[in-house]
Amino acid sequence: MGALLSSFTGRIDVTDVFVDFESAKYGDDTERQICEAADEILERAPGVIAALEAYANCGAQIRKALSDPNPKSEQEAFQAVKANVAIINMFFNFSKEVANMVRELLKTLATGQEKEAFCAHQFSVKQLGRLLDFVLRFDELKMLRPGIQNDFSYYRRVLPKHSNDPDLKVRDEEASFISLYIAQPIPMMTALAKSTSSLYVSNPNVPAALALMANVCLELLKSKRFTTSETNQLLVRVMVGSIVLFDHVSLEGGAFVKKSGINIKQAVQLVVKEYPTQNSLTNMLRYSTLHYSDDSTPAGIRSLLDVNK
């Protein structure tokens, strides 16, 4: 199966692959340990989302410090951004945890026999899906908060003046890495792509596992195997997340070409026609992938995604 998928000769039939996203069980103790580690991360994910939703930028304080520079206004601005930088640093560190966990789960699933691995390790598939769902939610929210990058840029600019501050959580060297992280339009997915690409170097089955993930979710949605809206909402988001990650990792033209192995046209049709109010998903496919703008993307897919552009 892995060889077939990794050769990308066409669409893969997944009608014989069922993953129970509602009642998945551990396959063995090793899987249980990995999935419990994923649970620990996922339990903290709502708090990360809440912190991002509640993020209040320091634009007013920064503008005051720049327009009326004096010790008081500058100190107030720095203290404000310092508190926000602690939150941004938390986002950065959490993204590393998520990326590492996705990498570990893919090691379980990208075996060269992906169908068998998915059926035997259904809880790993579910946990991978839940992490992809979180990544999409985080990046959707981050796109709406340009103040994050503005706050951090100001922090870096004035950091040398405050190098003796004993309460600094982020100093110059780490600030450089965080600056690169938040400069990305989709920082959480970018962290995943970097980690997953490094795994791909030693494991050529990684794209096969991501393609299978997308196709399995598509088949579960098409066949209406689950009746609960919550499960189906998760499935469509996992499908989109798998496509986006595949497109970032693939060295063979991305997710939109026929040889990707992903049933991309049906996936896009399903998102557009059955989830028309979820513009964030079509935007992810259109703007968060690397290869959508390539000439190789079929005109039929462009017409579907660009119809409401």
Q: Which pLDDT score is estimated for 1? A: 35
Q: Which pLDDT score is estimated for 233? A: 96
Distances (CA, A) of 280 to 14, 110, 237, 298: 27, 28, 10, 21
DSSP state at residue 185: S
Q: How many CA atoms lie within 13 A of 94 on its CB side?
A: 25
Dihedral sign of CA atoms 54, 135, 216, 43 in order: negative
Q: How confident is the model at residue 10 (pLDDT cuts 50, 70, 90)?
A: low
Q: Read off the amino acid at residue 282.
A: T
- Check pLDDT > 70 for residue 222: yes
Q: Which pLDDT score is estimated for 7? A: 40
Distances (CA, A) of 258 to 17, 62, 111, 136: 21, 50, 23, 24
Instruction: Please state the rounded mean pLDDT for residues 219-238.
Output: 96
Please choose, from the candidates 108, 274, 254, the residue with its C-alpha nearest in 3D space to the C-alpha of residue 193.
Answer: 254
Measure the CA–CA gap between 96 and 73, rounded to whole angstroms. 35
Residue range 110-163, pLDDT digits in tens:
999 999 999 999 999 999 999 999 999 999 999 999 999 999 999 999 999 998
Contact 270, 304 (CB under 8 A): no
134 contact partners, CB below 8 Å, separation of at least 6? 42, 45, 48, 49, 98, 188
Residue range 267-298, pLDDT digits in tens:
999 999 999 888 899 999 999 999 999 999 99
What is the reported pTM? 0.93
Residue range 199-216, pLDDT digits in tens:
999 999 999 999 999 999
Q: How confident is the model at residue 3 (pLDDT cuts 50, 70, 90)?
A: very low
Residue range 25-69, pLDDT digits in tens:
999 999 999 999 999 999 999 999 999 999 999 999 999 999 999
Q: Which pLDDT score is estimated for 2? A: 39
Contact 16, 215 (CB under 8 A): no
SS percent in the chain: helix, strand, coil, step 5: 70, 0, 30
Residue range 149-159, pLDDT digits in tens:
999 999 999 99
Q: Which pLDDT score is estimated for 114? A: 94
